[in-house]
Amino acid sequence: MLHLAAPIQGATTLALNTDSAFPAFGTAVSAYGWGMWQVDISVGENLLQGVEMTSMSEGNRRCGKHSSDYQEAHHLCAGDLEGKKSACCGDSGGPLVAYTPEPVLVGSTSWGYGCGLKDYPGMFARTSKYAAWIAETMNPTPRAISIGDVSVQEGDANGPRWAYFNVVLDRPATQPISVEYRTVAGTATAGKDFVADSGTLEMYPGDTETVIAIEIKSDKTKESNENFTIVLENPSGTTIARGVGTGTILNDDPNTKLGLGIDDVKVGEGDIAYNDLIDWIFGTGQDRNVAAFTVSPNKAPGKTVTVNYATTVSSAGAEDFDATSRQLTFTAKQTWQFLLVPFQADGTVEIDETFTVTFSGASGAGVILTRAVGTGTILNDD
């Protein structure tokens, strides 16, 4: 379709047919064009011709006879039952007009088989099928543009990654559209975590989406997830429905620090009985059981590491367990060990009791306490 920059002076226009049921079978129609009089016979390119015909659209019975391309919703056909009257070569795009009684544009010359042959009417594009598109193209309503969010793995230092922001229109563009964009730092830093960018995004008739690509700076440093935004502004030919997209840089570097943690433990109180193992370990010579806390680093230390620990009373009193404050040592290849706390066995019915073991003062650079407090529960079993 040609869209004139200004009306042609002195010209009249035809109304556009929007009724899909018009023209009915047998309606008089006229085609106009500068094409040939018949195949291979031209009457001159400057001579406008017209021919009166009859609409033959009748549920595909005649129009689809010589081509499977015919679709009733998109096409109509017109000609003469005996042939002789038809549009011809060079008439494509010309108007097909019906009268109501005022002239109405019902079709546009499209294709056919020969010119004026019996049982081969000409094919025309129905204007009613494209009326909405023509109206929208001539007087487009503003499109609304939106930008989405995106998350991307940071990657290592061997090369960059890219964050691709999808920018979409709510409907296909019917005219050129542009919008400016720029990146804005958040917890992510421009130049360090991503490459700052700005520019103008352009879209053209028929487009519905495009992409803004932002380079992400990779590294091997363990850190929190970081974010930045892209802002859309100063639109032309469109409105902004969602003007800010968030880019999240996901950390994918492993935790390189050595972490130490202590688990909780629950153990039955037991009866008064001499325990040779406990006496051998602690030399108490008394009636004792033991709570064994599991302590484990997240990986082999690679060196000797120590951590201080101390017990603290809770619902269990000092008479129920052996309060202690000591140091635990891990060798370079050791990945777990028990921390043992003796407690008093008895035959008294009582509630479950608890105490805690707390870590402090881990030695060695880069050592962190991932779980510094473990709870021991003495379960009454009397």
What separation in angstroms does the CA of 272 have from each of 17, 20, 347, 379, 381?
103, 99, 6, 15, 12
Do 276 and 367 lie in one domain? The reply is yes
pLDDT of residue 273: 40
Number of structural domains in the chain: 3
Residues 6+ apart with CB under 8 A from 188: 194, 226, 227, 228, 247, 249
Q: What CATH number is given to the structural domain containing 94?
A: 2.40.10.10
Do 54 and 127 lie in one domain? The reply is yes
Name the average pLDDT for the chain: 83
Do 246 and 331 lie in one domain? The reply is no
Q: Choose the final residue of a domain: 194, 227, 250.
A: 250
Whether residue 165 lies inside any domain: the answer is yes
Whether residue 4 lies inside any domain: the answer is no
Q: Could you say which DSSP state residue 141 is in?
A: P
Do 226 and 147 lie in one domain? The reply is yes
Residues 6+ apart with CB under 8 A from 242: 146, 147, 148
Do 246 and 308 lie in one domain? The reply is no
pLDDT of residue 12: 81
Q: Choose the final residue of a domain: 93, 112, 138.
A: 138
Whether residue 180 lies inside any domain: the answer is yes
3-state secondary structure of 220: coil
Q: Choose the final residue of a domain: 123, 138, 153.
A: 138
Domain residues for the domain of 287 are: 258-379
Do 91 and 168 lie in one domain? The reply is no
Whether residue 207 lies inside any domain: the answer is yes
Kindly provide the b/e burial profile for residues 148-172, where b requires at least 16 CB atoms within 10 angstroms of the residue's own CB: ebbebebbeeeeebebebebbbeee
What separation in angstroms does the CA of 124 have from each of 120, 140, 354, 357?
13, 26, 90, 89
* Full pLDDT tens readout for the chain, 382 residues: 777 778 888 888 888 898 888 998 889 999 998 888 776 666 656 788 899 998 886 655 667 666 667 777 788 888 887 778 888 888 888 999 998 888 999 999 988 888 888 878 888 999 999 888 887 777 667 789 999 999 998 876 666 789 999 999 998 888 899 999 999 999 999 999 999 999 999 999 889 999 999 999 887 766 678 999 999 999 998 999 999 999 999 886 555 678 888 999 988 876 444 344 455 455 554 556 788 899 988 888 888 889 999 999 888 777 888 888 999 999 888 888 999 888 877 777 778 889 899 999 888 656 888 889 999 888 877 6
Whether residue 362 lies inside any domain: the answer is yes
Distance separating alpha carbons of residues 88 and 45, to the nearest angstrom: 13
This model's pTM is above 0.85: no
Whether residue 187 lies inside any domain: the answer is yes
Do 276 and 314 lie in one domain? The reply is yes
Whether residue 240 lies inside any domain: the answer is yes
Do 19 and 132 lie in one domain? The reply is yes
Q: What CATH number is given to the structural domain containing 307?
A: 2.60.40.2030
